[in-house]
């Protein structure tokens, strides 16, 4: 009777950090680095489940930028492809916007498709991620499709024309110059092709993929600052110009134009007439004694009609021009400004729309797990105590007469994003979070 020999499952844990949390090395004390307290505890938990885990951090810029998150997703895709075949299973953990990076990589790789023999990775876990819904307008989709077609046409046409000229000899004595031009065109087309790849992914980006077999596991706290802030930014009715603000708005402008009209009618026109620059009466020459009287009459007439001119110009500018601005200009200006402000918070830096902040993925089925009980209370109490300590640290420097408050304010703003003073950055300090992640990865590894 022989003994059945088993071995630990060799798995890869690919970690993806969030905004502003990048590092220069894959080793260190940040949660996603090899050798950190979190990754070591996770490896020990997985070892007890028969999983030998390697930690593979993916470092991206960490900028609050959608295009940078796309580049981070491309880097993650490359890392996942590198790990494929070397491990029994691969598992991804993303924190904050690192979860959006990981979700975008899952979309690129069509993770979670039904009836697929082997997935590019087995599980995706997000922690404190404010999921964005990314949309591309129909005009951008159409332009991207046309650009892609032109690019492929150029890539195909350049070599074919060059080959035809080379074989037929139609280039004559300038064959070398002609082929050089074809080579330059082909190089440009290949450059366009490299740029169009991202556009093609946007055009063909699915609204919803993934079956029930592999949901995203999303861990979050109900008072997570990043999720709450972005939700409030999206829900807040930003209206820089409220209703009616542009209708009476041009009052000072209307007064200004009215004053200009009065000056023209009462002073400028009589002066121009006095110096023979304009002829008010249609007579080329007027006796000098008569001209003085005419100038006086012109000034008097100008003063007489000045109130009427002022009133007409004033009301036209204030209510006709202001009314048109209120009806035609206020809505698009408000939309542009509110969109720009929300875009700054969400990292929008292109023509795609970023919206619908959620704790669930917009592209994959999500097993949403809100932290509750003792761990949630502990996280909130610890962050509150850290915030009180932080404010107490800067209280006297901020409220001391004659002190330079610029430096303390800058230090306070930087310290406000430290590890201890936010719920959002303290998930990985909690043993319960390690247990949840380890149990999920172990279960998926056994299935694989």
- Do 185 and 256 fall within a single domain? no
- Do 270 and 187 fall within a single domain? no
| 291 compared with 336, residue with greater pLDDT | 336
| 103 compared with 257, residue with greater pLDDT | 103
Which residue, 127, 136, 140, is CA-closest to 101? Answer: 127
Distance of alpha carbon 203 from alpha carbon 196, whole angstroms = 10
Q: Across 151-165, 256-270, 323-337, 374-388, which has the greatest mean pLDDT?
A: 374-388
Distance of alpha carbon 337 from alpha carbon 238, whole angstroms = 8
Residue 173 within any structural domain of the chain: yes
Q: Which residues contact 349 (CB under 8 A, 6 or more apart)?
A: 65, 66, 67, 343
Residue 179 within any structural domain of the chain: yes
Determine the structural domain holding residue 326 and report its residue range.
251-346
Distance of alpha carbon 136 from alpha carbon 138, whole angstroms = 7
Residue 308 within any structural domain of the chain: yes
Report pTM: 0.72
Q: Which of 162, 178, 202 is the last residue of a domain?
A: 202
pLDDT class of 4 with cuts at 50, 70, 90: very low
pLDDT at position 113 is 73
Residue 13 within any structural domain of the chain: no
Residue 411 corresponds to which tokens in the numbers above? 């230090």
| 314 compared with 227, residue with greater pLDDT | 227
Q: Which of 346, 376, 400 is the last residue of a domain?
A: 346
Q: What is the mean pLDDT of residues 96-105?
A: 96
Residue 277 within any structural domain of the chain: yes
- Do 176 and 262 fall within a single domain? no
Residue 404 within any structural domain of the chain: no
Q: Which of 163, 187, 202 is the last residue of a domain?
A: 202
Residue 24 within any structural domain of the chain: no
Judged by average pLDDT, the poorest of 63-67, 142-146, 441-445 is 142-146
pLDDT class of 5 with cuts at 50, 70, 90: very low
| 31 compared with 205, residue with greater pLDDT | 31
In terms of Cβ atoms closer than 10 Å to its own Cβ (0-12, 13-18, 19+), residue 125 is buried
| 24 compared with 297, residue with greater pLDDT | 24
- Do 181 and 256 fall within a single domain? no
Total domains in the chain come to 2
Residue 93 within any structural domain of the chain: no
Q: Across 170-179, 183-192, 400-409, which has the greatest mean pLDDT?
A: 183-192
Strand order in the sheet with 216-220: 51-58, 9-16, 89-95, 123-127, 216-220, 366-370
Q: Which residues contact 402 (CB under 8 A, 6 or more apart)?
A: none
| 358 compared with 422, residue with greater pLDDT | 358
- Do 192 and 257 fall within a single domain? no
390 neighbors 433 (Cβ within 8 angstroms): no
Q: Does the pLDDT at position 65 exceed 60?
A: yes
Which residue, 324, 305, 326, 202, is CA-closest to 261? Answer: 305
Residue listed under structure tokens 């041009």: 250
């Amino acid at each position: 009777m022989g003994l059945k020999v088993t071995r630990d499952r060799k798995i890869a844990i690919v970690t993806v950090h969030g905004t502003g949390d990048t590092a220069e090395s894959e080793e260190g004390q940040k949660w996603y680095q090899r050798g950190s307290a979190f990754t070591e505890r996770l490896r020990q938990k997985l070892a007890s489940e028969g999983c030998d885990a390697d930690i593979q951090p993916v470092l991206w810029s960490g900028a609050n930028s959608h295009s940078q998150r796309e580049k981070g997703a491309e880097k993650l895709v490359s890392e996942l492809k590198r790990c494929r075949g070397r491990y029994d299973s691969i598992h991804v953990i993303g924190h904050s916007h690192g979860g959006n990076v990981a979700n975008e990589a899952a979309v690129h790789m069509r993770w979670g498709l039904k009836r697929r023999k082997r997935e590019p990775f087995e599980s995706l876990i997000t922690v404190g991620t404010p999921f964005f819904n990314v949309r591309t307008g129909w005009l951008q989709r159409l332009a991207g499709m046309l650009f892609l077609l032109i690019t492929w046409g150029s890539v195909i046409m350049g070599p074919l024309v060059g080959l035809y000229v080379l074989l037929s000899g139609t280039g004559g004595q300038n064959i070398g110059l002609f082929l050089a031009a074809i080579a330059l065109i082909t190089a440009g087309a290949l450059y366009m092709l490299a740029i169009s790849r991202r556009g093609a992914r946007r055009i063909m980006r699915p609204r919803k993929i993934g079956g029930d077999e592999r949901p995203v596991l999303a861990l979050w706290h109900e008072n997570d600052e990043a999720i709450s802030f972005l939700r409030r930014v999206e829900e807040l009715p930003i209206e820089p110009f409220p209703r009616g603000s542009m209708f009476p708005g041009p009052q000072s402008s209307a007064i200004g134009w009215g004053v200009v009209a009065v000056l023209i009618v009462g002073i400028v026109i009589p002066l121009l007439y006095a110096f023979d620059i304009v002829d008010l009466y249609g007579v080329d020459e007027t006796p000098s004694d008569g001209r003085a009287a005419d100038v006086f009459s012109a000034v008097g007439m100008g003063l007489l009609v000045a109130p009427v001119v002022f009133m007409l110009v004033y009301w036209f500018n204030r209510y006709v021009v202001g009314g048109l601005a209120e009806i035609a200009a206020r809505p698009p200006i408000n939309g542009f400004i509110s969109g720009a402000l929300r875009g700054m918070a969400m990292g929008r830096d292109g023509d795609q729309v970023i919206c619908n902040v959620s704790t669930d993925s917009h592209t994959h089925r999500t097993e949403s797990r809100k932290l509750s009980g003792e761990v949630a209370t502990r996280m909130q109490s610890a962050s509150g105590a850290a915030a009180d300590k932080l404010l107490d640290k800067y209280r006297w420097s901020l409220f001391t007469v004659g002190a330079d408050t610029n430096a303390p304010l800058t230090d306070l703003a930087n310290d406000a994003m430290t590890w201890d003073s936010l719920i959002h950055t303290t998930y990985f300090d909690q043993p319960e979070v390690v247990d949840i992640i380890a149990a999920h990865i172990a279960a998926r590894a056994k299935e694989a």
